[in-house]
Amino acid sequence: MLRKILSAAGFFFIYLIVILLATFYQKPIFLFLLMLLLLLPPASYLAARYAVRHLQPEITTSLLFGHSGDEITVSFVLKNPAYLPLPDCTFHYTVSSPFYPNEESYEVNCPVYAHDSFAFSIPLTFRRAACYQIRLTQITVWDYLHFFTFHKEVTLQKELFIFPLENDSLQFSSAAFGEGFDEFEENGAKGNVSSNVTDIREYIPGDRLQKIHWKLSAKIHKLMVKENEQTSSHQFILLPELYLPDPAQPVLEQILSNTLTMGRTLLADGITFFFWYYSITAQDFMQFCILNEDQLEEAFRSCFYESTYVESDLALTVLQKADMVHGSILHVTDKGVEDVIS
Domains within the chain, CATH numbers bracketed: 1-163 (2.60.40.10), 174-188+232-341 (no CATH)
Q: How many residues make up the chain in this entry?
A: 342
Is residue 130 classed exposed, middle or buried when 0-12, 13-18 and 19+ CB atoms within 10 A define those classes? buried
Residue 142: closest CA among 85, 92, 78? 85
In DSSP terms, which residues pair with 338 in a beta bridge?
Answer: 331
Residue 142: closest CA among 134, 151, 130, 131? 151
Give mean pLDDT, residues 70-93.
94
- 255-275 tens-digit pLDDT: 999 999 999 998 988 888 999
Residue 205: closest CA among 298, 295, 274, 330? 295
Candidate from 23-32, 99-108, 129-138 with smallest mean pLDDT: 23-32
- Round to the nearest angstrom and report the end-to-end CA distance of the chain: 65
The number of beta carbons lying within 10 Å of the beta carbon of residue 200 is 13
Report yes or no: 115 and 153 within 8 Å, Cβ to Cβ: no
Q: What is the pLDDT of residue 9?
A: 81
Does residue 174 register a pLDDT over 60? no
Sign of the C-alpha dihedral, residues 49, 57, 149, 145?
negative
Q: Rounded to whole angstroms, how far apart are CA atoms 39 and 151?
A: 23
Q: What is the pLDDT of residue 193?
A: 38
Prediction pTM value: 0.75
- Range with top average pLDDT, 307-311, 322-326, 338-342: 307-311
Neighbouring residues of 261: CB distance < 8 A, sequence distance ≥ 6: 166, 167, 168, 170
To the nearest whole number, what is the mean pLDDT of the chain?
A: 84
- 17-33 tens-digit pLDDT: 888 888 888 888 888 88
- 279-309 tens-digit pLDDT: 999 999 999 999 999 999 999 999 999 999 9
Report yes or no: 288 and 302 within 8 Å, Cβ to Cβ: yes
Q: Rounded to whole angstroms, how far apart are CA atoms 2 and 13?
A: 16
Q: What is the pLDDT of residue 341?
A: 63
Higher pLDDT, 228 or 218: 218
Candidate from 16-20, 180-184, 214-218, 326-330 with smallest mean pLDDT: 180-184
Q: Could you give phi then psi for residue 89, rounded to 5 degrees?
A: -120, 150
